[in-house]
Amino acid sequence: MSRFKVKKAKGDVAINTSSLPDIIFMLLFFFMVTTTMREVTFKVKMKLPEATEIQKLEKKSLVSYIYVGPPVNPRMYGTNTRIQLNDQFATVDDIAEFVQIERQDRPESDRKLITTSLKVDSDTRMGIVTDIKQELRKSGAFKINYSSRKGGKKKK
Amino acid sequence: MARKSPEINAGSMADIAFLLLIFFLVTTTMDVDTGISRKLPPPVEEPDQDIDVKDRNVMKVLVNSQDRLMVNGKPADISELKNLTKEFMAIYPDDGEHPETTERFIEELNRNVVTSKGIVSLKNDRGTSYQMYIAVQNELAAAFNEMKEEESMKLFGIKYSQLVDENQIKAINAIIPVRVSEAEPEDIGGS
């Protein structure tokens, strides 16, 4: 019984918080290392398709993105599937220029390694995707990646 | 000699750190980019100039605008596609039905290996849904990955995904190249 009495007596001793900043800083560094900056604000909605045989994209600095999907704000932009390059809507004709600019941004030795990641909404029709692929072929961006989430074997 | 410096109050340090932490939590994303990697063929100058490939060496996979599959002229289900592909790419020497085989010298193994000349040709309609397209690509990738696993088990006794030696990985990739060709787009109807 005496044990409990001792505890009660020490009840309101302030907890030493001097190491709290250190803990928070540790968390901060963890998040800084494991996450990446959000690069663009999405103007199109994308629900990526699921796949099982996916590979990780290795070098993020060598990846350029093309987003395809219905606009986030259908009142302003309608519900038709649109292409987004960087921060704005684009058409298929803009892709050649986009590839050129992306290529010029990278050092010359890495230009052949640029991968174009296609982030396409799963309800999109293939027509627009085919157009994009043709345009990429013409401009010489051959490495592509169909962005998809890891998913189980779900059959429709 | 130095004056006794007054201690700085570090009590608000935690608040500052919290603020930074929350800032980073909001502005960054944690998603890793994953997907199916493919290589596009270079553009052809004259679309009519077809490369001559024997009919039995090609497995034609068609997807129409209703997301229905057709493999070599017969309707098929997506769940069968993987096994059909594996069966097609399997090696049957001296058999008129299956794709031709060829002996290739694999540098890494320092010997000849019989490989299949089969090609999977994928064609889709403009109205095919992207989801179906990815599902088909996924099944094809799965078939090739499984064949790589089996080959690796046979040759080295280790799973392909666990191979470390560069040469062994190269050898497997040379024996089983992922040959998925995508036809020039055209409307195959059925809208």
Contact B129 A54 (CB under 8 A): no
Q: Is the dihedral of CA A124, A128, A134, A135 positive or negative?
A: negative
Residues of chain B contacting residue A122, judged by C-beta atoms under 8 Å apart: 129-131, 134
What is the reported pLDDT for B125?
Answer: 85
Q: How many Cα atoms within 13 Å fall on the side-chain side of residue A125?
A: 14
Site of tokens 């050092």? A107
- Give A11's pLDDT tier (boundaries 50, 70, 90): low
Residues of A in contact with B40 (CB under 8 A): 133, 136-137, 141-144
Please answer yes or no on whether B14 and A134 come within 8 Å at the CB atom: no
Mean pLDDT of B136-164: 87
User: Phi, psi (5° rounding) for residue B59?
Assistant: -105, 115
Write down the pLDDT at residue A156.
39
CB-closest option in A31, A52, A124 to B24: A31
A28, A129, A137 ranked by CB distance to B41: nearest: A137
pLDDT above 60: residue A8: no
pLDDT digits (tens, 9 = 90+) for A99-112: 998 888 888 888 88
Q: Summarize the confidence of residues A129-139 as an average pLDDT.
A: 88
Q: For B183, which residue in chain A has the nearest alpha carbon? A: A130
Instruction: List chain A residues with CB under 8 Å of B39.
Output: 142-144
Q: What share of chain B is helix, strand, coil (3-state, %, to 5)?
A: 35, 20, 40
Residue pair B134/B81 in contact by the 8 Å Cβ criterion: no
Rg from Cα positions in chain B: 26
Higher pLDDT pick, B39 / A12:
B39
> pLDDT higher for A46 or B92?
A46
Is the confidence at residue A140, as pLDDT, over 80? yes
Is B40 close to A137, i.e. CB distance below 8 A? yes
What b/e string do you get for A76-85 counting C-beta neighbours within 10 Å, with b at 16 or more?
eeeeebbbbb
A52 vs A9, residue with greater confidence: A52
pLDDT over threshold 60, residue A152: yes
| In chain A, domain spans | 50-149
C-beta atoms of B33 and A24 within 8 A? no
Partner residue facing B37 (CB), from A24, A49, A145: A145
**Rounded distance between C-alpha atoms, residue B24 and residue B21, angstroms:** 5
pLDDT by residue (tens digit) across B159-171? Answer: 888 888 888 888 8
CATH of segment(s) B55-144: 3.30.420
Distance (Å) from the C-alpha of residue B140 to the closest C-alpha of chain A? 9
- Token reading at B37: 């990697």
Contact B184, B123 (CB under 8 A): no
CA distance B8 to B18: 19
Band the pLDDT of B88: cuts 50, 70, 90. Answer: confident
Radius of gyration from C-alpha coordinates of chain A: 25
Q: CB distance B17–A28 less than 8 Å? A: yes
Averaged pLDDT, B120-124? 87
Dihedral of alpha carbons A94, A97, A100, A106, sign: negative
Q: Given an 8 Å threshold on Cβ–Cβ distance, is A117 in contact with B25? A: no
Instruction: For B184, name the nearest residue in chain A, comparing CA atoms only.
Output: A134
Q: Tell if the CB–CB gap between A52 and B142 is shorter than 8 Å.
A: yes
Give chain A's length. 156
Q: What percent of chain B stands above pLDDT 70?
A: 87
Q: Is the pLDDT of residue B186 over 80?
A: no
Strands A55-56 vs A50-51: parallel, antiparallel or unpaired: unpaired
What is the pLDDT, as a whole number, of residue A7? 53
| Percent composition of chain A: helix, strand, coil (DSSP 3-state, to 5) | 40, 25, 35
pLDDT at position A1: 53
Q: Give the mean pLDDT of B75-92.
A: 86
For residue range B36-72, list pLDDT tens digits in order. Answer: 888 888 877 665 555 666 777 888 888 888 888 888 8
B126 with A125: Cβ contact below 8 A: yes
Predicted confidence band at A10 (pLDDT cuts at 50, 70, 90)?
low
- Residue B96 Cα, gap to closest chain A Cα (Å): 32
Q: How many CB atoms lie within 10 A of CB B149?
A: 17
Mean pLDDT value of segment B134-163: 87
Average of per-residue pLDDT across B172-189: 74
The domain ranges of chain B are: 55-144
Best CA proximity match to B176, nearest among B98, B91, B93, B52? B91
What's the pTM?
Answer: 0.77
| Ramachandran angles phi, psi of A85, nearest 5° | -120, 130
Q: Do A122 and B134 touch (CB under 8 A)?
A: yes
User: CATH classification of A50-149, choosing from 3.30.1280.10, 3.30.420.270, 3.40.50.11540, 3.40.50.720?
Assistant: 3.30.420.270
What per-residue confidence (pLDDT) applies to A15? 81
Residue A4: pLDDT above 80? Answer: no
ipTM: 0.75
Verify whether the Cβ–Cβ distance B34 to A147 is below 8 Å.
Answer: yes
Check pLDDT > 50 for residue A155: no
What is the average pLDDT score of chain A?
83
Q: Give the type of residue at B27.
A: T
Count how many residues are written for chain B.
191
Q: How far is A138 from chain B (nearest CA, A)?
A: 6
Structure token pair of residue B69:
């599959």
